[in-house]
Every structure is written in C-alpha cells, then in structure tokens.
Amino acid sequence: MRISVHKKRVHKKILILIVIIGILIFLFANKNFQTLLILNKEITQLKQRITGLEEENIGLKEELEAMKNDPEYIEGLARRELGLIKPGETKYKFIESQEQK
C-alpha cells in the first residue's frame, strides 16, 4: 500500500514538472508570444505619445483663440517675438559684458 501512495506522489510531481516545462517552452520559445509582448509595449508608448500630443494640441488651440480674440496677447507676442515698440517708446538693448557670460 505504501508503494502505491509513493508512486502517486512521484507521478503528481512529474506531471507538475512537465506542465511547468511546457509553459516555459511556450512562453520563451514561441515567437508569436514574444512579438505580442513587443507590440503591447509599443502600443503603450504610442498611447503615451498620443496623450502628450493631445495636451499640446489643446494648448495650441488656446493660444490660437488668444491670438484671435485678445489684443493684449497679440501686442505682447509682437513685442516679445518681433521686438516691436509703440510710437514714442524707446527700446533699450542691454549688452552682456564678457565677465557675465
């Protein structure tokens, strides 16, 4: 009777070992599974990029609305980007000395 119980335990351990080996072979030897993992990683990266681009798009739309409807924004932009001044204003340009650089 003891031999029979011992054989059952051995058979059960062998079966578990075979199943584990089979799973490992499937996971690491199967090119399709590896490709799937790579593609899932790429999908995640692309979703993050899309989210970033959507946020940038929202900011650009807000800037466009400000350009269309806010004269103060346009004035500030012209002063900052183009160096424009109003009539009667004096523009000063400060030159950095060699010591400050």
Q: What is the DSSP string of 2-59?
A: HHHHHHHHHHHHHHHHHHHHHHHHHHHH-HHHHHHHHHHHHHHHHHHHHHHHHHHHHH
Map out the domains of the chain as residue ranges. 12-82
Cβ neighbours for 83, distance < 8 A, ≥ 6 positions apart: 91
Copy the structure tokens of residue 11. 């058979």
Q: Which residues make Cβ contacts (< 8 Å) with residue 91, sequence separation at least 6?
A: 83, 85
pTM score of the predicted model: 0.51
Q: What is the pLDDT along the chain (101 residues), one digit of tens a residue?
A: 456 777 778 888 899 999 999 888 877 777 777 788 899 999 999 999 999 999 999 999 999 999 999 999 988 888 888 888 888 888 888 888 877 65
